[in-house]
Structure 1
Amino acid sequence: MKHIVRKAYWNYEKEEIWLNEMSAKGMSLTDYSWCRYVFTETSNNEYVYRIELLEHLPTHAESISYLKFLEENGVECVATYMRWIFLRKKSSEGAFDIYSDIESKIKHYKRINVLWNTMMAMGFTVGLFNIIIGLINLNIFNQMAYFSVVNLILGGFLVVLGLLFLKLGSPVRKKIKGLQQEKAIRE
């Protein structure tokens, strides 16, 4: 039987934990699109799930090669969303970790950090641009006050969104720093 769950996550690690909890309840992920998870009923703990952000889109040659490599090693790509991939492996086949070394973990977190930083920069840039346009129009063209207010509100919203992405990226930056320190200690 098919079950659809609508849920939003900003932290892929928490999302991964939730998917594995669902698997423990006998629900296996079969598809994903923005905030929409599709599950089918299976035996409890049949799969272990991992989520990864690829360097390129899943249709890129390097990504296709990587996904084929995973498939040859018993890992199934259940769903893709933009550059995010949802992977699973049969629990009976043992532990399932995508990254076995610190350097590859750091690279993955850096990809996620670049994503958050890009979203933050876009929010700030477009937001401040709208605020400036709104203030200029308000001072020069008093008859265009409606559009100025719209620019100011939109700009304020986008700046707040940029701050949200700054906050969302903070734990990722801390993990990168911690992994880099651990790497330095081991070397």
Structure 2
Amino acid sequence: MKKVLYRLFGDFEKEEKWINEMGAQGWHLQKFSFGRFTFTMGEPGAFIYRNEFISGMSSKEKKDYFEFLKDSGILIINELGGWVYMKKAASDGPFELYTDAKSKIAYYKRMLNIFALLFFINAWMGIANISIFWDKAKYGFINPTIGVFNIAAALLIAYPIIKIIQRKRLLEKDQKFFE
């Protein structure tokens, strides 16, 4: 049996939690795309799922990383737009990609770099399209409209940035506490 669900998440950890809750009910992730998740029915709780943002890796680094994961008993489900979903049999025990604070902080920094770049590009393009190109006689309403969409995209990107900064700061605070 197959099930397709549509959900938009601004928080990748909440998304991962939801996927694991679906897996606990017997719905196993087969494929994902932007806001679209395809599940098949199977044994409840058979797998633990993780998502990871791997943007910025070269194709060789990605290939080597995927081979490492495969050798560790981890199956790659799907990759899209720098995000990859993977699963591992629950019977193999806990499944964490980042087991220490230092590596998790480095992961958050990598994510912040990409998201911040996307935020600033969209914000700058939005402002440029709204203010500089507001010549209605020459451009009509297309540039201000695109500018509004860019600003909206920047605001949507700001939410995950805020969540990542909060998590990173919490890890850094905990790390300093234990030093």
Q: Percent identity at matched positions?
A: 27
Q: Which residue of 2 aligns with 1:169?
A: 161
Letter matched to residue 30 of structure 2 = T
Using the TM superposition, give the Cα deviation of residue 17 of structure 1 relative to its aligned residue in structure 2, in angstroms.
Answer: 0.7
Query: Which residue of 1 is the match for residue 178 of structure 2?
Result: 186
Aligned-partner residue type, residue 16 of structure 2: E
Instruction: Indicate how the Cα distance of structure 1 residues 152 and 118 shifts in structure 2: closer, same or farther if over 3 A, else same.
Output: same
Gaps of 5+ in 1: none
Q: Pairwise mapping of residues 19-168 of structure 1 onto structure 2 (< 5 A)? A: 19-56=19-56, 60-135=59-134, 137=135, 143-144=137-138, 147-168=139-160
Q: What secondary structure sits across from 2:50 in the alignment? A: strand
Change beyond 3 A, Cα 1:163–1:7: closer
Q: Deviations over 1:56-79 (max 9, x none)?
A: 35x711111111111111111111
- How far residue 149 of structure 1 moved from its aligned partner, in angstroms, is 3.6
The count of aligned residue pairs is 179
Cα distance change on mapping 1:17 and 1:170 into 2, 3 Å: same
Deviation track 1:69-106 (CA, whole Å, cap 9, x = no partner) reads 11111111111112111011111111111111111111
Moved more, 38-47 or 2-11: 2-11
One-letter code aligned to 1:182: D
> CA RMSD, aligned part only?
1.8
Distance in 2 of aligned mates of 1:168 and 1:178:
15
Deviation digits for residues 7-47 of structure 1, max 9, x if unmatched?
A: 22221111111111111111111112222212111111000
8 Å CA contact retained: 2:11, 2:163: no
Amino acid at match of 2:40: T
Query: In structure 2, what is the Cα distance between the partners aligned to 1:166 and 1:34?
Result: 18
Q: Larger radius of gyration, structure 1 or 2? A: 1
- The 1:65–1:31 alpha-carbon spacing in structure 2 relative to 1, beyond 3 Å, is same
- The alpha-carbon distance between structure 1 residues 150 and 11, as it changes in their structure 2 partners (threshold 3 A), is same
Task: Measure the CA separation in 2 of the matches of 1:40 and 1:23.
Answer: 10
TM-score, with normalisation over the residues of structure 2? 0.90
Q: TM-score, with normalisation over the residues of structure 1?
A: 0.87
Per the alignment, in what secondary structure is the counterpart of residue 17 of structure 1? helix
Q: After TM superposition, give the deviation of residue 110 of structure 1 in Å.
A: 1.6
